[in-house]
Chains A and B, each alone.
Chain A
Amino acid sequence: MHWNVVIDNFDYFLWGRASVDGVFPFVHDVGGMAAGIILAFFGILGAFWIGLAAGLMRLSKRWWIKYPAVAYIEVIRGMPLLLLIFWFFFLAPVVLGKSLPAFSTTLVCFIIFTGAYIGEIVRAGVLALPSGQMEAARGSGLSRYQAMRYVILPQALRNMIPSFVNQFVSLTKDTSLASVIGVNELTRTGVQVDNREMVASFEIWITIAALYFCICYVLTSISRRMEAHLSRYQARGR
């Protein structure tokens, strides 16, 4: 066995060639697991707003608001993420006139891709609330917007937190796809070390899988616990 290969490169798996200095972002060339976490974090952050907009638009009664959201959600959910990444990677230079770094490309793709799934979560979360909530809010004199903003969404978003965490887990797994177009994240570092050493494939890939497993399993357990906790305080239709 060649576990020393893994031990020697473990810091490379964790943060790649990261270096710290005084220039603005302070940390440069972040790679490895840290890059994956950064991608997933900013991905879910952006996707939340797009998903919120898409989910609420899909609930609208006006067709010119509803159908763009339906088309966005259905098209994105119908295509593999790999295809979206390739598509955007080759389309972005044509549209923008200059090539986009691979890191930003994948980040945009993750935001667009996860936004569609979060849109569905938001829609399901709003529909899952008993209709009496909306009726009571409208009955007490709130406008439709106010009812949504102050009554429905605060409850619905709270109930959606476990689903968001699950989506974050699957996004963390999906960051591995960024390696295909050359982002230096955990999977890519694994490929690099594997190709350099040649003899330690088994140890390297077990380590990579274990690193992903650590993040995802912790998050999954958190979401399960939250689900059990939140379901106690949910408004139910009687």
Chain B
Amino acid sequence: MLSGEPAHWMWEGFVTTLQIASISLVCSMLLGIIICVFRMTPFRLLQWFSLAYTEFFRNTPLLVQIFFWYNASHFVIPASINKWMNALYHWFPGPFTLFGHEFAGQWMLFNVEFITGVIALTVYTSAFIAEEIRSGIFSIPKTQLEASRSVGLSFIQAYRYVILPQALRIVVPPLISQSLNLIKNSSLCMVIGVTELMFMASQVESYYGAPFEAFSAALLIYLVISLFVSFCINMYNKHFLIQVSY
């Protein structure tokens, strides 16, 4: 189990999990910030859009969303985009070697399944991230904004120098735990054939008939990731979390 092909497969799956999770994390942070800003603008239409977006994507299962993006989205998105996504497969190089392991690059990376997985995870996580940033900003009492406006700061300055520095401190721990959720949720992408850790574990299971070993190894890897992330949260809380004035 610890050497040869199964270990190679598991390592490949681990790398794919990290890739899909990190790419979707960056995208969902950006999208989440945009959705949150929409919610804060004075325009009704943008507010409604943001509200509908967060409520819809937070209240439907990720699995259904993945099936939607994979099975159903090509009925509605333009044919040219479909064609472009299907062609991405050809852009990337063949097998490559990393840390002594050979990776079958072309079929693993950036195929349609991978991109669909990134889209589904991004959309799902960004709804949660938007809500967390918003509740972080709302937890700063309104008097802070009023006080800073009355000392003569502009609206943007008030946010830049008074509200956001306090809000970001509150927002960071839930965002870290959200990124952990993202890593765990990325296991659902196996149903559409993204070759991440769970997919590889079940492949080892069916190929070698060793379900206990395969899933225990996967469990161990997920545990190490999540313990590392909670270690990060604790370190952050210890060093950076300063009591906010109310």
Contacts and interface: CB of A to CB of B under 8 A. Distances in A.
A30 to B, nearest CB: 19
A205 B205 contact: no
Interface in B43-86: 55-56, 58-65, 67-68, 71-73, 75-76
Nearest to A173: B61
Contact of A209 (B64, B188, B205): B64
Interface residues of B, number: 38
Contacts of A217: 55, 59
Contact of A179 (B63, B72, B190, B198): B63
Interface of B: 55-56, 58-65, 67-68, 71-73, 75-76, 184-185, 187-188, 190-191, 198, 201-202, 205, 211-212, 215-216, 218-219, 222-223, 225-227
A49 interface: no
Contacts of A202: 72-73, 75-76
Contact of A80 (B59, B60, B64, B184): B184
Contact of A212 (B64, B73, B187, B188): B64
Contacts of A194: 67, 71-72
A217 B211 CA distance: 37
Contact of B64 (A74, A75, A205, A220): A205
Interface in A189-216: 190-191, 194, 201-202, 204-206, 208-209, 212-213, 216
Contacts of A179: 63
B60 A212 contact: yes
Contact of A90 (B72, B212, B225): B212
Given A83-B219, A201-B72, A90 B205 contact: yes
A220 B61 CA distance: 14
Interface size range on A against B: 35 or more
A120 to B, nearest CB: 12
Given A205-B71, A212-B59, A79 B223 contact: yes
Nearest to A81: B184
Where chain B touches its partner, the secondary structure class is helix
Given A79-B222, A91-B211, A202-B75, A86 B61 contact: no
Given A80-B185, A83-B187, A86-B198, A216 B59 contact: yes
Contact of B198 (A82, A91, A205, A220): A82
A86 B61 CA distance: 19
Contacts of A83: 187, 198, 201, 215, 218-219, 222
Interface string A50-77: 0000000000000000000000001101
A176 interface: yes
A204 B73 CA distance: 11
